C-alpha cells in the first residue's frame, strides 16, 4: 500500500536513531541602521523550526531502509511529522508518566499571542523553560503549531497553569479547547536533501537529515 503524507512519526521519524541533533528557531528579520545611529528591525515572515539529525552508524540493510524512506520524502510535495530531539517531553516528566489519564488543552489565549494558559494538567504539574508543546489549529489545511516554553509555570489545584509565554508567538487561528501535546510534541516538516553518509563494506556512517517546519 502506498504511503500517505504527512508521513506519520511511527512510519519514519520515531524509528530514527540520532547520534547528534540540533533543533532551533532561526531569526527571520531584517536589520537596518538609520543615519542617526538607531538600529531598526523588522519581521520578514514566519519563524520556522529547523533541525539537523545525524544518525548513528547502521548496518547496510538498516541504512538502506532509511535511505528508501528519505528518497520518498525528497519528492516534491512530501512531508512528515517530527518532534524535537533529544528533548521530547517536559523536563520534570521525561517519560510522560504524570500525564497518564490527563488531557491538556488550551484554556486561555492572551491578546498578542505571546502567552497562553493550559488546562487539564495534574495539580502541581511543572512546565520548565525550554519545554515544548504542540497543537493543531485552522482547517483546510490543518496547521501544526510547535512552541517552546519561555516562562516556567506550575499548574494549580484545578490543573490550570498561569499564563505561560511561548516562542514563537501563537499564530492566528489557534483556539481555546484545542488539545495540547507535551510528550513528543510534533510539527509538520519538509526534508531538505543532505549528507547520504559514508558506506563501508558492512556499515553506513554519518547519514544526515536536514528539515524545516512547514505551515501549509
Nearest alpha carbon to residue 214 among 182, 185, 192: 192
What would the mean pLDDT of 172-199 be, rounded to a whole number? 92
Strands (E), the chain: 18-24, 29-33, 39-43, 50-55, 58-59, 80-82, 105-109, 115-119, 126-127, 132-137, 143-149, 153-154, 164-167, 187-192, 198-199, 203-205, 208-213
Q: What is the pLDDT of residues 139-150, one digit of tens each?
A: 989 999 999 999
What are the residues facing 115 on neighbouring strands?
165
* Angle (nearest 5°) at CA 187 between 186 and 189: 135
pLDDT for the residue numbered 118: 98
Residue environment code for 126-146, b if the CB has 16+ CB neighbours within 10 A, otherwise e:
bbeeebbbbbbbeeeeebbbb
pLDDT for the residue numbered 29: 86
The fold adopted by the segment(s) 86-185 is: Elongation Factor Tu (Ef-tu); domain 3 (2.40.30)
Q: Where are the domains of the chain?
A: 1-83+186-216, 86-185
Q: What is the pLDDT of residues 2-39, one digit of tens each?
A: 899 999 999 999 999 999 999 999 999 889 999 999 99
pLDDT band of 201, cuts 50, 70, 90: confident
Q: What is the pLDDT of residues 34-86, one digit of tens each?
A: 999 999 988 888 999 999 999 999 898 888 899 999 999 999 999 999 999 98
pLDDT band of 198, cuts 50, 70, 90: confident
pLDDT for the residue numbered 194: 74
Residue 197 has pLDDT above 80, yes or no: no
3-state secondary structure of 64: helix
Report the C-alpha gap between 122 and 99 in whole angstroms: 7
What are the residues facing 202 on neighbouring strands?
none
Looking at every residue in the chain, the average pLDDT score rounds to 94
Class assignment of domain 1-83+186-216?
Answer: alpha beta
C-alpha count within 13 angstroms, C-beta hemisphere, residue 150:
13
Amino acid at each position: 500500500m502506498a504511503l500517505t503524507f504527512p508521513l506519520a512519526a511511527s512510519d519514519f521519524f520515531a524509528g530514527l536513531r540520532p547520534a547528534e541533533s540540533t533543533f532551533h528557531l532561526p531569526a527571520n528579520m531584517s536589520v537596518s541602521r538609520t543615519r542617526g545611529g538607531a538600529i531598526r528591525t523588522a519581521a520578514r515572515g514566519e519563524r520556522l523550526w529547523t533541525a539537523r539529525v545525524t544518525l548513528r552508524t547502521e548496518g547496510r540493510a538498516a541504512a538502506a531502509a532509511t535511505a528508501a524512506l528519505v528518497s520518498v520524502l525528497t519528492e516534491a510535495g512530501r512531508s512528515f511529522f517530527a518532534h524535537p530531539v533529544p528533548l521530547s517531553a517536559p523536563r520534570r516528566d521525561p517519560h510522560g508518566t504524570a500525564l497518564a489519564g490527563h488531557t491538556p488543552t488550551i484554556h486561555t489565549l492572551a491578546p498578542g499571542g505571546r502567552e497562553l494558559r493550559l488546562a487539564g494538567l495534574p495539580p502541581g504539574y511543572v512546565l520548565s523553560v525550554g519545554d515544548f508543546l504542540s497543537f493543531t489549529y485552522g482547517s483546510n489545511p490543518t496547521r501544526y503549531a510547535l512552541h517552546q516554553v519561555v516562562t516556567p509555570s506550575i499548574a494549580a489545584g484545578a490543573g490550570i497553569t498561569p499564563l505561560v509565554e511561548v516562542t514563537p508567538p501563537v499564530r492566528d487561528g489557534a483556539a481555546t479547547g484545542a488539545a495540547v501535546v507535551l510528550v513528543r510534541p510534533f510539527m509538520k516538516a519538509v526534508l531538505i536533501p543532505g549528507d547520504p553518509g559514508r558506506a563501508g563494506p558492512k556499515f553506513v556512517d554519518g547519514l544526515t537529515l536536514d528539515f524545516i517546519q512547514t505551515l501549509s
